[in-house]
Structure 1
Amino acid sequence: MAAEKNMGPLIGQRHIQAFLLFLSITVNYTAKFNASVAVVAMTNSETTNPNFPEFDWNEMERSYILSSFFWGYILTQFLGGWLCRRYGARLTMFVSTIGSALLALLPPFCVSWGGWQAYCTIRVGMGLFQGFLFPCIHAHLANWCPVNERNRLGAFANTGIDCGTLMAMFLSGKIAASSMGWPGIFYISSTVGIIWCIVWLIFGANTPRESKFISEAELKYIESSINQGGKENEVQNARQIPVPWKAIFTSLPFWALMVARCSQAWGYSTLQTEMPTYMNGVLLMDMKSNAVYSALPYLASWIMAFVYLIISDILLNRGVLSITAVRKSFNTISFWVPAITLIGVGFVDSSQTTLAIVLMTLNVGINSGNTIGSAINTIDLSPNHAGILMGIVNSAANMLPMITPLFVGIIVKDQHDRVQWQVVFIISAIVFFLGNLFYIMFGKMAKQPWDDSDFLDNYQTCRIAEDGQSKREKAEKPIK
């Protein structure tokens, strides 16, 4: 009983921080992915509100718009990790979200005279700002999550990915069909981003010790849990710990994580960015139906994220599976089942819309297990360098969503041609399968030696000792 009381309030500041991270991901993902619906509305106003301008953009130009966000996004991932270490997550995440929110307001004013090129430029800028986000989120989770709550709080925060994508797919279509038309998509997205920034400035804190609202009991509980296996205040002082670059880039578990996240990015981004176009072109759905059915898989994903979270908590708390078994099992389910359903999606046509919706819903819903499976593996490997790891991994992973719309644009010359879409989905299925196989073979869920705050000092000491021993051996070697 005493241990439970020392955990602080039932809803403590660590839960508030996780909820704020969830909201941050939600508002940023809404702004990030509403373009897939907005582009359809802006080029086919008859299915939404015909009182607003319509643009004659071909499939390749639309692909440029959808991929342009990632042109900026990949450039600032590593910078986001560095800024978070230097200035903390509170300021860096505020700059990330406010910058993206203000830019989200511009398309209705700029696209009419600047065309698709202006829209691309705006989305590149949004990508530059949002690139700071996930390195900060993983570093913030490492600072705030007690060891036995990392899986729960980290997975909960990341459900914002599903919620934000759901909002982008469902609400954007509804807004575009309303009296606000497609410009309303951008106005509302910008407004909610600004509101989050205000709330974050009030309640956000880099560490538990910096929080103005945390209780003494919760503060002691978090700090004692985080530091139970290491030196005092090790994670809280991560900004002062040198980064062991060589050790990271020669670590096989790190590369297993990298491969898993890259393969996830390829398969998932194919559906995220191309689903509205596929449903409009092959399944011949109008925009209002498109909005509902495009959003349905992400509703399933959001629900399934909590199902995975509950199941993993039960398995871990009852000692049924280790954290390694949970992560690899969930990742396998979330990669290999969608690999099968992706292939199935490519073999349906406009007379089988119900089957297509079922398959795509299963695909995205089951894939949500990748959050527990591999997305938060950065914190397992290195709490001290979680932000830096996420910056590196996300930089690589988000090169692929930049490529996939262009890749689809090369293969799909006619958006009504089902055979061309089959090629796209089969390739994505193969990537899913091979990426998870590598993760199963080489992934690790334990803190790596290079996470220690004195790793570089010890490494240098060993090198000096080895050099000294080598010199002594040479000096003592008899001359023949």
Structure 2
Amino acid sequence: MSAETNKGPVLGMRHVQALLIFLNITTIFIGRLNVGVSVVAMTNAETTNPDFPEYDWTEAEKSYIFSSFFWGYIFTQFLGGYLCKSFGVKSVMFWGVFGSGVCSALTPLFIGFGEWKAYCGIRVLMGLAQGVIFPCIHQHLAKWSPPAERNRLGALSHSGMECGNVSAMFLSGMIAKSAIGWPGISYVSAGLAFAWCAFWFIFAANNAVESRYIGEAELHYIESSLKHSENHHKTVIPVPWMAIFTSAPFLALTVVRCCATWGLSTLQAQIPTYMNGVLGMDMKSNAFFSALPFLAMWIMSYVYLITADVLLAGNRLSLTALRKTFNSLAFWIPSATLIGIGFLDMDQKNLAIALMTISVGVNSGATIGSSINTIDLSPNHASILMGIVNTVVTVVPIVTPLVVGVIVHEDNNRAEWQIVFIIAAVLLFIGNCVFLCFGTAVSQPWDAEDYLTVKEPKLTITPSIHETGKGIDGSPKKSLM
């Protein structure tokens, strides 16, 4: 039998969905991360626009504001995975982003009434709203991405994180200095969220079957490659909880994502303080140096994407081998540079900036390496897996500053900072070793739609579609048209 040659349009609705997710991630990251610039503008009006209220907040109060988002974010990750399986990704993601936009719009009003305590409160609510979004994103990618394109569409959409990081720093700084001042940062963030909701409402669909704009060729390509059953889109597949929590590949993914977050949070939050205290560099006041690592991360994400496409298209690496190779680069190179930064002197500032930029830039490979691995393991339960992983992972940025606070008593003490960097480097190294041993990009047996209805399910791991490149030989289902 001849191989399937009709793969739909080169650019189709699946790419529109990936673009919507990219814009979604960019938008929510701008709303999440603009707090750094906003707090500076509120507590030091002379650096931005002095026509707006200025507040005298202590460093402790500022730290509460910075962390308050995650107080809410951690509680709705698991809920988001459950809701989008029950009610569909389109509605859950819409209300999550809309709620985040409302919180942004109300932020200046809350601050006017209750200052930093009210700021913390509205940030908690924003965290609750945004917590449902990433489980929805992974479920949406699983529903819309043909296995052969899953890596590309997933990486493209997730590059919105780097775009959001860079945009939050540059846009927030320019807005704070403009005529609308620091309140404008929240208003612009809200406007972006509401604009995205409008596009999402018009163009998004829970799956290809429900899309109003998709062509028959692309619909057949997507649905046939995903190998769905006849009533797949009409039923809610039971979640095999015990199989998930006892799955070695899933547990390995959870471990590696926790280690990745520890390393990245150390790079993001602690190295600027180290460079200020030990190397005498005020990184936070220099927008270029602050944004440079994330600009490198954004550029490198596309380098990794192009390289991955070339390697997979030429069958030079299996998807599992590709994931592990990229993850090793993304973990072990920053592990080495973290230790190296701890041994630099004050006359080696340029080298320190270069090493930090390399660390953050190379770390972008973790998106292809392990971040989207939930979709490989279980396309049917990707939202549940992401909800579990993100719930555990969100604890890390809360714990990391506490550990640093216990170790570092003086910002200019190099020896204490070296301990912090060594801990992060060791976790990055060990986390990747766990992933190398137990990780895989092969769909697991418990992903099967009838897994819980079979009395004695087979324990052998079936090859993923990524690995074999085989589709099904049936004609498109009439009920799907």
TM-score by length of 2: 0.88
- Structure 2 counterpart of 1:383: 379
For the structure 1 residues 412 and 32, does the alpha-carbon distance in structure 2 shift closer, same or farther, using more than 3 Å as the test? farther
Question: Deviation of residue 461 (structure 1)?
Answer: 8.3
Matched, 1:370 2:383: no
- Structure 1 counterpart of 2:476: none
Q: Distance in 2 between matches of 1:343 and 1:52?
A: 43
Question: Deviation of residue 116 (structure 1)?
Answer: 2.2
Question: Deviation of residue 232 (structure 1)?
Answer: 4.0
- Structure 2 counterpart of 1:468: none
Q: Distance in 2 between matches of 1:363 and 1:54?
A: 36
- Structure 2 counterpart of 1:120: 120
- Structure 2 counterpart of 1:13: 13
8 Å contact kept, 2:327–2:370:
yes
8 Å contact kept, 2:283–2:289:
no
Please give the per-residue CA displacement for 1:371-425, whole angstroms capped at 9, x wherever unaligned.
Answer: 0000111111111111111111111111112222344445455556655544433
- Structure 1 counterpart of 2:42: 42
Q: Distance in 2 between matches of 1:231 and 1:213?
A: 23
Question: Deviation of residue 240 (structure 1)?
Answer: 1.4
Q: 241, 266, 269: which is aligned to 2:265?
A: 269
Which consecutive unaligned segments of at least 5 residues does structure 1 have? 463-480
Question: Deviation of residue 274 (structure 1)?
Answer: 4.7
- Structure 1 counterpart of 2:246: 250
8 Å contact kept, 1:166–1:298:
yes
Correspondence 1:183-262 to 2 at 5 A: 183-227=183-227, 231-232=229-230, 234=232, 236=233, 240-262=236-258
Q: Distance in 2 between matches of 1:434 and 1:79?
A: 30
Question: Deviation of residue 138 (structure 1)?
Answer: 0.6
- Structure 1 counterpart of 2:472: none
Please give the per-residue CA displacement for 1:291-342, whole angstroms capped at 9, x wherever unaligned.
Answer: 2211111111111111101101111110111111100010011011111222
Q: Distance in 2 between matches of 1:346 and 1:176?
A: 34
Matched to 1:263, the amino acid is: C
Matched to 2:428, the amino acid is: F
- What percentage of aligned pairs have identical amino acids? 57
- Structure 1 counterpart of 2:477: none
Which consecutive unaligned segments of at least 5 residues does structure 2 have? 459-481
Q: Distance in 2 between matches of 1:406 and 1:46?
A: 32
For the structure 1 residues 233 and 375, does the alpha-carbon distance in structure 2 shift closer, same or farther, using more than 3 Å as the test? farther
Question: Deviation of residue 124 (structure 1)?
Answer: 1.0
Matched to 2:136, the amino acid is: C
- Structure 2 counterpart of 1:475: none
8 Å contact kept, 2:272–2:282:
no
Matched, 1:306 2:306: no
- Structure 2 counterpart of 1:465: none
Q: Distance in 2 between matches of 1:294 and 1:51?
A: 26
Q: Distance in 2 between matches of 1:32 and 1:53?
A: 22
Correspondence 1:302-381 to 2 at 5 A: 302-348=298-344, 352-381=348-377
Question: Deviation of residue 164 (structure 1)?
Answer: 0.9
Matched, 1:285 2:282: yes
Match of 2:316, SS state, is: coil
8 Å contact kept, 2:176–2:182:
yes
For the structure 1 residues 411 and 44, does the alpha-carbon distance in structure 2 shift closer, same or farther, using more than 3 Å as the test? farther
Q: Distance in 2 between matches of 1:40 and 1:21?
A: 30
Match of 1:321, SS state, is: coil
For the structure 1 residues 435 and 348, does the alpha-carbon distance in structure 2 shift closer, same or farther, using more than 3 Å as the test? same
Question: Deviation of residue 184 (structure 1)?
Answer: 2.5
Matched to 2:302, the amino acid is: F
Question: Deviation of residue 144 (structure 1)?
Answer: 0.4
Of residues 385-394 and 260-269 in structure 1, the stretch that sits farther from structure 2 once superposed is 260-269
Please give the per-residue CA displacement for 1:38-71, whole angstroms capped at 9, x wherever unaligned.
Answer: 3333334444344443333333332222221111
For the structure 1 residues 233 and 376, does the alpha-carbon distance in structure 2 shift closer, same or farther, using more than 3 Å as the test? farther
8 Å contact kept, 2:69–2:123:
yes
8 Å contact kept, 1:18–1:153:
yes
Alignment RMSD (CA, Å): 2.4
Matched to 2:452, the amino acid is: L
TM-score by length of 1: 0.88
Q: 439, 442, 445: which is aligned to 2:438?
A: 442
Q: Distance in 2 between matches of 1:337 and 1:23?
A: 29
